[in-house]
Homo-oligomer: A and B are copies of this chain.
């Protein structure tokens, strides 16, 4: 019984964290919903979000699409931590299972690189709701990313 853990990854670009944070800061959508980067390591990214009425679906929980937005972002930036300095990241596709209502004090979306290939990178992701010190698994994701070589993820690079 040997579920694969996030492997040990090494960042190709020592300035990976700075590069990911600069890219995140250019995302108007993340600012609009109020998400922030909670953690960043080679092959890993966590995005935090505080639930509020402006992000709700019809029952008052956080909308599945907003959950998708933070886990897609966490997976994408988990990948970007490993990409060369002169490249950017595109989501090819992702699949999301919703397991429990997205509510509580905070949502934490975590993306983990499973395989970092030259053109395609595979991640998986989890979103947990944190409430009174208790974590509940809210969503599970599997994602395919593409590395855009030679196209730095900066407006004026």
> What residues of chain A have their CB less than 8 Å away from a CB belonging to chain B?
1-6, 23-24, 26-33, 39, 41, 44, 46, 52-59, 62-66, 68-70, 72-73, 88, 90-100, 110, 112, 114-115, 117, 119-120, 122, 124, 126, 137, 140-142, 144, 146, 153
Nearest 9 CB-CB pairings of A with B: A65-B69, A29-B63, A68-B68, A95-B95, A28-B56, A93-B97, A26-B58, A23-B58, A32-B54
Please state the number of chain copies in the assembly.
Answer: 4
A73-B65, A110-B2 known; A58-B93 Cβ under 8 A: no
A93, B91: Cβ atoms under 8 Å?
Answer: no
B53, A28: Cβ atoms under 8 Å?
Answer: yes
